[in-house]
Amino acid sequence: MDNFYRNAKFILSSPDFKGCPTDSGYEVVFAGRSNAGKSSAINTITNQKKLAKVSKTPGRTQHLVFFDLDEKRRLVDLPGYGYAKVPLKVKEKWHKDMDYFFLNRQSLCGGILVMDIRHPLQPFDKQMIEWSIATNIPLHILLTKSDKLSRNQAKQTLFAVEKELKEYEFISIQLFSSLKKEGLEEAHNFLDKMFELNI
Ligand code: GDP
């Protein structure tokens, strides 16, 4: 279903959860610390150069951004986090909103957590993992920028992260590189499953 993700179209961006589109259909969220490579991953997955903004300024994106795939399926780019310059109050509000979102958003059916393979499982990644565990929402981890490591090092990191999370059946992990377009099929397969697309 690779071609399906090319349909992604920007619908709206909102500074808070109040501005979300109607809660129906299927939604998969993308989360990741600032600079992890989330925007690049969204662009790679949707095969579009500029759908999500790739920024060299960490933490610039503080909006939730919604993309329609079809009339009932959406991708959501969550604000980047873990950036020191974000005021504590903003972080606290974001935390509260995320609690609410994960617990109440009916259309939320899966999450993709983007981690820079060189800095996996940072505190905020663990927070995202906890939300997924608490709500049983499947979470797929992209260890991205895998091109920055040797094949061996990348595999070792993959095994280490898998080991750390092995008790959680609904968490899956893969290597990914937007630069080399590595791991695209696996990422699409996860999304196909979440969106209940018949392949
Ligand atoms: P975001 O803040 O998580 O959305 O991260 P971006 O997608 O804006 O990427 C941050 C930086 O990492 C940019 O300079 C990207 O070009 C770079 N980057 C993203 N993905 C990859 C990748 O797979 N490989 C390499 N080598 N660089 C990447």
Backbone angles phi, psi at 118, to 5 degrees: -85, -15
What is the residue-level pLDDT of the chain in tens, covering all 199 positions?
Answer: 568 999 999 999 888 788 899 999 999 999 999 889 999 999 999 999 989 876 545 545 578 899 999 999 999 998 876 555 677 887 788 888 888 888 999 999 999 999 999 999 998 899 999 999 999 999 999 999 999 999 999 999 999 999 999 999 999 999 999 999 999 999 999 999 999 997 5
Quickly tell me which residue has 């961006």 as its tokens.
13
Nearest CA to ligand 1 atom 25: 145
Q: Where are the domains positioned within the chain? A: 4-195
Beta bridge partners of 30: 77, 112
Residues in Cβ contact with 40 at an 8 Å cutoff, skipping those fewer than 6 apart: 52, 54, 144, 178, 179
Architecture of the domain delimited by 4-195: 3-Layer(aba) Sandwich (3.40)
51 ligand 1 Cβ < 6 A: no
pLDDT tens-digit readout, 142-186: 999 999 999 999 999 999 999 999 999 999 999 999 999 999 999
Residue with the smallest CA separation from ligand 1 atom 19 is 37
Residue-level pLDDT at 92: 84
Ligand 1 centroid to Cα of residue 179, in Å, is 8
Tell me which residue of 116, 121, 106, 114 sits closest to 74, measured CA to CA.
106
The closest residue, in CA terms, to atom 5 on ligand 1 is 37
